[in-house]
Amino acid sequence: MLLFRGGDNLSCRAALRLEEVFALDDPTGTLHVVWKVKEQLRTLLRTGSLEEAAAAKKELEELVKAAARPETNGLYRTVCRRWKEVKVLIITGAATGKVEAKNTAIKNIKRTTRGYRNADNYKSVFL
C-alpha cells in the first residue's frame, strides 16, 4: 500500500519501510524506478508554470527511458498525446472531477427513479 501513497505524504517511518521494500524485494531496481516515474508524474501535474511543467516532463521522459517498461512507455505516450490538456490544467487549475461526480450522481438518480436500485439489474433490462 505504501507504493500507492504519494512520496510527499509518507511519514518518516513509512519512507524507511518503503526503502526497505526497494532494497529487499526489488533486486533489479525496476520497482523503484517505476515508483519514481509515478512520483514524477505527480510532480508534473502539481507544477505552477509551463516552464516548470516542461522541465518536469523532460525529467519524466528520462525516468521512463530508465524504467524501460511497456507500462511506463504507455504512460509517457499518453502524457505526450494529452499535453495540450495538461497545459490547460496547469494554467487554469481546472479539472473535470467535479463534473464527472455530478454526472455519476445524475445517472444514479435516473436509475433509482426507474425503480432499479442495483446497477446490474438496470443494465440487464436496457442492454
pLDDT digits (tens, 9 = 90+) for 14-49: 888 888 888 888 788 888 888 899 999 999 988 989
| Confidence check: pLDDT of 116 > 70 | no
Which residue range(s) make up the domain with 110? 96-127
Residues 78 and 59 in one domain: yes
Residues 19 and 60 in one domain: yes
Residues 37 and 81 in one domain: yes
pLDDT digits (tens, 9 = 90+) for 56-107: 999 999 999 999 899 999 999 999 999 998 998 888 877 777 788 888 888 8
Angle at 37 between CA 84 and CA 42, to 5 degrees: 55
Contacts of 122 (CB under 8 A, 6+ apart): 111, 114, 116
Q: Are 44 and 76 in contact (CB under 8 A)?
A: no
- Segment 7-19 mean pLDDT: 84
Q: What is the pLDDT of residue 97?
A: 77
Residues 13 and 64 in one domain: yes
Specify the number of domains making up the chain.
Answer: 2
Q: Are 111 and 119 in contact (CB under 8 A)?
A: yes
Residues 100 and 90 in one domain: no
Confidence of residue 7 (pLDDT cuts 50, 70, 90): confident
Q: Which pTM does this prediction carry?
A: 0.67
Residues 63 and 125 in one domain: no
